Amino acid sequence: MSKFPIPSTLQDLESDPFDLLPYPVGFADDDEATRADSFDQLVLFLEQGNRTLVNGGIETFENIENTQEEEFQEWNCEDRIQALYTLVRKSASLSPSTRTRLVHVICQAVCQISCILASVAKKETSYVVPQELRDALACHLYMLYTIMIFMESEIKAGKALGNTCAQGKGGKSQDKDNAQHIQTLREACASTMLTVTNAMALYRSNLWKRGVPDENVISLPCRVAYQMLENSTSVTTRKLSSGDVALEIIAISLESNDGLRNTVVSALMDMMHSNEHMAPLVAELCCIDKGDCNDSQDYRENKLATELLREIGRLDGGAYSTSDTSGKANGIKNVAPFLNELAEKKPLLVLEHIHIVLHHLNSEPYNLRSAIIIAIGHLLVRRMETDHTGDEVNPNTEHANENNGETKLQKSNEMKEKLYNILLDHVYDVSSYTRSTVLKTWSALIEAQSLPTDKLIPVTKLAIDRLQDKTVMVRRNAMQVLTLVLENNPFTESLNPVPYENKMEEVKKYVLENLPINLKEAFEESMNNLEDENISDKSEIEAAVIRAVTDEVQSSPDRIDDVEENVEFVKKLKVLQFLQSAIEFINTFESANDAFQSMLLSSNKSDVTEALHFFVRARHFQLPCAVTGIKQALSLMWSDEQSIQDEVLAAFVDVFICETNGERLPPKQIVDNLIKLVGKSNASELACIEEAIARLVKDELIPSEVFLILWSVAAKAAGRPRSIAMTILSMGATADSGIVDSASRLRHLLQAGLGDYTEEHRDWASAKSAAYALQRVSRVKPDPSSAKFLVLEQIVERLSIIIQGEWCDDDSEQDTCAWFGATEEAINAIFAICPAPEQVARMIIVGMIYSTFELGKSGTLSEQFCHSLRLSRFFFVIGHISLKLLVYSEVISGAVRSANAARTISKQEQADRVKSTKRHGKEIDENNDIEAELGLAQAAEAETENIVAEIAEKEIIGRGLIEVFSPLVVRVVANENGRLSSKILMQSSVLTLCKFMCISRSFCEKHLPLLFTAIENSKRDITLRANTVIALGDLAFRFPNEVEPYTSKIYSGLSDDSMRVRLHTLMVLTHLILNDMVKVKGQVCEIALCLRDSEIRIRDMARLLFHELSKRSNNPIYNLLPEIISRLSNMSVKKDDFRSIMSFLLNFIKKERQAEMIVEKLCQRFPKCSTISQKANIAYCLAHVKLNEKCIKILNENFNHYKDSLFDEDVLRNFMAIVIKTKKFAKPEMKQYLEEWEGKLKTHSEMGLEDEKANKNAEHEKKRIAKRSDRNKKRTTKEDQSIHNDECVSSDDENYTDGKGIELSGKEKRNKTPSTRRKKRILTNVN
The rounded Cα 1280 to chain-centroid distance in angstroms is 81
Q: Judge whether residue 734 has pLDDT over 70.
A: yes
pLDDT for position 364: 84
Per residue in 573-629, pLDDT (tens digit) is 888 888 888 999 999 998 888 888 888 888 888 889 889 999 988 888 888 888 888
Q: How many other CB atoms sit within 10 Å of the CB of residue 508?
A: 17
pLDDT for position 559: 52
Per residue in 931-959, pLDDT (tens digit) is 555 455 566 666 666 666 676 666 777 66
SS3 664: strand
pLDDT for position 769: 93
C-beta of residue 160 within 8 angstroms of C-beta of residue 154: yes
Among 152-156, 161-165, 1020-1024, 1162-1166, whose mean pLDDT is lowest? 161-165
C-beta of residue 1037 within 8 angstroms of C-beta of residue 1072: yes
C-beta of residue 1083 within 8 angstroms of C-beta of residue 1065: no
Q: How many other CB atoms sit within 10 Å of the CB of residue 1156?
A: 18
Q: Name, in order, each residue with C-beta under 8 angstroms of 1002's C-beta and a sequence gap of 6 or more.
A: 953
User: What does the H/E/C string look like for 628-647?
Assistant: HHHHHHHHHHHCCCHHHHHH
Mean pLDDT of the chain: 81
Rama region for 1308: left / alpha / beta (φ>0; ψ in -120 to 50; rest): alpha
Residue-wise burial string across 3-17, b where 16 or more C-beta atoms lie within 10 A, e elsewhere: bbebbeebeebeeee
The confidence band for 1287, taking pLDDT boundaries of 50, 70 and 90, is low
Cα 858 to Cα 760: distance, rounded to the nearest angstrom: 32
pLDDT for position 485: 92
pLDDT for position 986: 93
C-beta of residue 725 within 8 angstroms of C-beta of residue 714: yes
CA distance to 1174, 1204, 1209, 1243, per residue, from 1246 (Å): 21, 11, 11, 5
Mean pLDDT (whole number) for 695-702: 91
Q: Judge whether residue 1302 has pLDDT over 50.
A: no
CA pseudo-torsion sign 1159, 1161, 1167, 1169: negative
List the helix and strand counts (H, then E) for the chain: 60, 0
Higher pLDDT, 167 or 1036: 1036
Per residue in 11-68, pLDDT (tens digit) is 888 888 878 888 888 888 878 888 888 889 888 988 888 888 888 878 777 755 444 4
The confidence band for 277, taking pLDDT boundaries of 50, 70 and 90, is confident
Phi, psi (5° rounding) for residue 872?
A: -60, -45
Per residue in 52-110, pLDDT (tens digit) is 888 887 877 775 544 444 444 445 577 888 888 888 888 888 888 898 999 999 999 88
SS3 168: coil
Per residue in 417-430, pLDDT (tens digit) is 888 999 999 999 98
C-beta of residue 143 within 8 angstroms of C-beta of residue 228: no
pLDDT for position 925: 52
The confidence band for 791, taking pLDDT boundaries of 50, 70 and 90, is very high
Rama region for 19: left / alpha / beta (φ>0; ψ in -120 to 50; rest): left
Higher pLDDT, 212 or 1278: 212
Cα 190 to Cα 201: distance, rounded to the nearest angstrom: 16
- Percent of the chain, pLDDT > 70? 83
pLDDT for position 802: 93
Cα 886 to Cα 881: distance, rounded to the nearest angstrom: 9
Among 806-815, 833-842, 1224-1233, whose mean pLDDT is lowest? 1224-1233
**Bridge partner residues of 1303 (DSSP):** 1297
Q: Judge whether residue 1029 has pLDDT over 70.
A: yes
The confidence band for 840, taking pLDDT boundaries of 50, 70 and 90, is very high
